[in-house]
Structure 1
Amino acid sequence: MNESRGIDETQVKDRLRREYIKRVRKVLKSELNSKNRMLAIGEIAVPVLQYSFGVVNWKIKELENIDRQTRKMLTTYKMHHPKADVDRLYTSRKDGGRGLMQQEHLMDKEQTYEWLHKGELKGETESLIIVAQDQAINTRYHKKNILRQNVNSKCRLREEYEETTEHIKAGCTILAKHEYIKRHDQVCRNLHYNICKEYGIKVGKKWYEHNPQPVIEAGETIIMWNKQIQTDREIRANKPDIVIKQKKENKCLIIDVAVPGDRRMKEKEAERVLKYKELALETQRMWNCRTKVIPVVIGALGTTTNSFKNYIKEIPGHQLSKSLQKSVLLGTAHI
């Protein structure tokens, strides 16, 4: 029985590998410029492998071989010089690199698919998330570039960007005004609910019915929700999602949530920490306490980084990663 499963997995890996290579080749043959080719590989080819990680047991060596094959193809199509630095190929363009995604460093596989292992979503919602992960949603971009239909591939809400799955789930400025905010706030509500429970504050039975108050005091702890922090000097980023001031422990936690596209996880984590660095230093000085910024970053399709578990462990309360992921996934499915 185990042998037959092994044979099946080998066949699945082979199919996925061939489909990935096929898509990379298709992108490299296109007329896109260098930057857009790298982006297209990330949006069209990488998900073929990325979202199999929770199901197929890929070995690091196998992923390294796929990365090596990708580099060979880039060289063949004159997108990468054979003597160029390999590390720079995988560094973001903002930091002077080329922005290609490296397979073995994509995400925390076990954590990312905890929601799928638990199987708590409705069948319709789960199937929608899976098809989004497979980049097979019938977007305008998919119709034009995959199905070869004669249609406009630009976003139907604002014809400025390509209507890809990535764009819809986390990159549309129109959806950002309402849908993305609602999804973001659900994660914050989930966190706040469990923080309140930890400090003995009366809450309802269901976190999604929780109505956070701007300021709550529980003994020597103050919990602030979406509240502007008054500081002695002007600081622009002064309104994080949640702040917990623990007088007894002489400690302050600045918690900020982000739900980016699944390709920008690490970048968003670092961005959140840097964004509130000044506020952390100022509150540390004003309140004479140790202050730490905790980014809670979950990809629009449930992806988490290797740092995610450690970050949520620092937040008071019984914070369940699967519940936080579910908050995001339901929000994405609603979009």
Structure 2
Amino acid sequence: MDDLKIYAATKNQLENLLRTVHKISADVGIIFGTSKCQTVSIIRGKLCETPELNLDEKTIISSMSTEPYKYLVMLQTYKIEHGIIKNRLSTAFRLRLTSLLKTGLNSKNLFKAINTCALPVLTYSFGIVKWTDTDLESLNRLVRTILTKFRNHHPRSATERVTLPRNLGGRGLLDVVNVCREQIKSLREYFYTKNSNLYVTVSSADVKYTPLNLSSKQYDAFPTLSITNKITTWGAKELHGRYPSELDQHHIEKAASLHWLTSDYLYPETEGFIVAMQDQVIPTRNYRKLILKENISDKCRRCDSGSENIEHILSGCSNLASTKYLERHNRVASIIYLEILKHFNIDREIQEPYYKYHPPPVVENNSFKIYWDKTILTNKTVRRNRPDITLINKIKKTVLLIDISIPNNNNIQSKFTEKVTKYQDLRIEIKNIWQMESVQVVPLIVSAIGIIPST
């Protein structure tokens, strides 16, 4: 037995109870730890110091002063010291959070570690310590502040997104407010399902003495902010809401578009920067002029023609088209090309990373042949005759003309149609000249901020 607390109406009753416990402990060979014992005397609601209790010549129990003691980890005197406990738990939570951010974990595992290692410091106290909504929101804000300090979160990114599940576009952190309210609700339900007289008595006596407030039967006093409400709030914002609105379009494959969040290969800083771009809070000239109200021109610093916003920088600047956009396109194509080689067991000994790899014009084995960015010669003049990747199945006599595009979000559907139309003449010529069973145009479209169409 450990952490035993004895209550009595008078000092004499307390002394008799202690003697009984001491005698039973001695009979069964349990050490009575008097060094950790103290008596507390409360007279008319005030803590009073009383003389020591002498159980025998060797067992003396002192009286406690105003210094709080720990009982089941909670600091208390004649009451739970809510203020002191909250300060200590907040400090411990901050230290654990900071330590985790120094570990170098990938983003998904980092947020999982925060949920399972740092947050339990607080959750143990929920339902016992009186945390106000202001206290809990401050803890949520503390998490975002420390994430920002370590460059894992942009200070102007959507706050709702931090605590949304990853498969819905969030970062998977538990909401401290919701965790507290759910635990309070769970504890209330536990007490109400017990028929013991002790539980009934405790419930009727708890008139706002604890956060559970068991004497009140109103469960709706502890509402939680649902995921649906958070998504609605996120989507209703002018800038932040553009990304979730685009994800919900009927032609978008949401699961594929959010795969980068549900996988576990990104650094937290990289993930935070991508989220900031999707939330449109990167300080472009357009953002600084219209949102931050700075007195500057919003013209692009590279091309000096369009307004410098996220869409323009990622896929609309003419000065970047032949350099950065082409490099991005080729890297995406290289990743797809390497995955095709791996899938069809062609040239599996490649050790170079995709960003250093330069595919050869032609590779093949007994079953497949692959052209990389190669002009296809035909009898008839065909203007569009150079797809990014041409995959030929020698056995089934089929051809896939794969072409990659990384457009603006608004151009996803039009780009798909454009790619299919673009290679129709080439498709017909290849089928006739090479005598193939089928030739299919496969546009691979990924928007500049990672949205993938269902087509």
TM-score by length of 1: 0.64
Which residue does the alignment assign to 2:87? none
What pairs with 1:81-100 in structure 2 (closer than 5 Å)? none
Structure 1: gaps spanning 5 or more residues: 24-43, 54-102, 308-335
Which residue does the alignment assign to 1:305? 453
Give the alignment partner of residue 49 of structure 1, picking from 231, 234, 244: 244
What pairs with 1:123-202 in structure 2 (closer than 5 Å)? 123-197=268-342, 198-202=344-348
Deviates more, 1:143-152 or 1:3-12: 3-12
CA distance in 1, matches of 2:251, 2:280: 16
**In the alignment, is residue 260 of structure 1 matched against residue 260 of structure 2?**
no
Q: Which has the higher contact order (CA 8 A, sep 6+)?
A: 1
Q: Which runs of 4+ in 1 moved over 4 A?
A: 2-6
Distance 1:17 1:292, change over 3 A: closer
> Which whole-Å deviations, capped at 9, do the CAs of 1:157-208 have from their partners, x for residues lacking one?
0111010100001111111111111111111111211222313324324551
CA distance in 2, matches of 1:282, 1:302: 34
**In the alignment, is residue 113 of structure 1 matched against residue 258 of structure 2?**
yes
CA distance in 2, matches of 1:243, 1:5: 57
User: Matched residue of 2:280: which SS?
Assistant: coil
CA positional deviation for 1:246: 1.8
CA positional deviation for 1:6: 5.5
Note if contact 1:50-1:106 (Cα within 8 Å) is conserved in structure 2. Answer: no
CA positional deviation for 1:233: 1.1
Structure number with higher helix proportion: 1
Note if contact 2:416-2:445 (Cα within 8 Å) is conserved in structure 1. Answer: yes
Structure 2: gaps spanning 5 or more residues: 1-181, 186-221
TM-score by length of 2: 0.48
User: Matched residue of 1:199: which SS?
Assistant: coil
Note if contact 2:235-2:245 (Cα within 8 Å) is conserved in structure 1. Answer: no
CA distance in 2, matches of 1:269, 1:5: 45
User: Matched residue of 1:254: which SS?
Assistant: strand
Which residue does the alignment assign to 1:16? 234
CA positional deviation for 1:46: 5.0
**In the alignment, is residue 275 of structure 1 matched against residue 422 of structure 2?**
yes
CA distance in 1, matches of 2:384, 2:284: 35
Paired residues in the alignment total 234
CA distance in 2, matches of 1:236, 1:265: 23
Distance 1:291 1:5, change over 3 A: farther
Which residue does the alignment assign to 2:359? 212
Give the alignment partner of residue 296 of structure 1, picking from 444, 448, 452: 444
Identity of paired residues, percent?
29
CA distance in 1, matches of 2:295, 2:243: 25
Bigger radius of gyration among the two: 2
Equivalent AA in structure 2 for residue 303 of structure 1: I
> Which whole-Å deviations, capped at 9, do the CAs of 1:35-78 have from their partners, x for residues lacking one?
xxxxxxxxx47515337x6xxxxxxxxxxxxxxxxxxxxxxxxx
Equivalent AA in structure 2 for residue 305 of structure 1: P
Give the alignment partner of residue 371 of structure 2, picking from 212, 221, 224: 224
Note if contact 2:234-2:240 (Cα within 8 Å) is conserved in structure 1. Answer: no
Note if contact 1:16-1:48 (Cα within 8 Å) is conserved in structure 2. Answer: no
Note if contact 2:280-2:310 (Cα within 8 Å) is conserved in structure 1. Answer: yes
Which residue does the alignment assign to 1:237? 384
CA distance in 2, matches of 1:18, 1:213: 48
Note if contact 1:193-1:203 (Cα within 8 Å) is conserved in structure 2. Answer: no
Distance 1:5 1:166, change over 3 A: farther
CA positional deviation for 1:279: 0.6
CA distance in 2, matches of 1:237, 1:5: 60
Note if contact 2:346-2:363 (Cα within 8 Å) is conserved in structure 1. Answer: no
> Which whole-Å deviations, capped at 9, do the CAs of 1:218-240 have from their partners, x for residues lacking one?
12422100000001111111010
Equivalent AA in structure 2 for residue 107 of structure 1: I
Q: Cα RMSD over matched residues?
A: 2.3
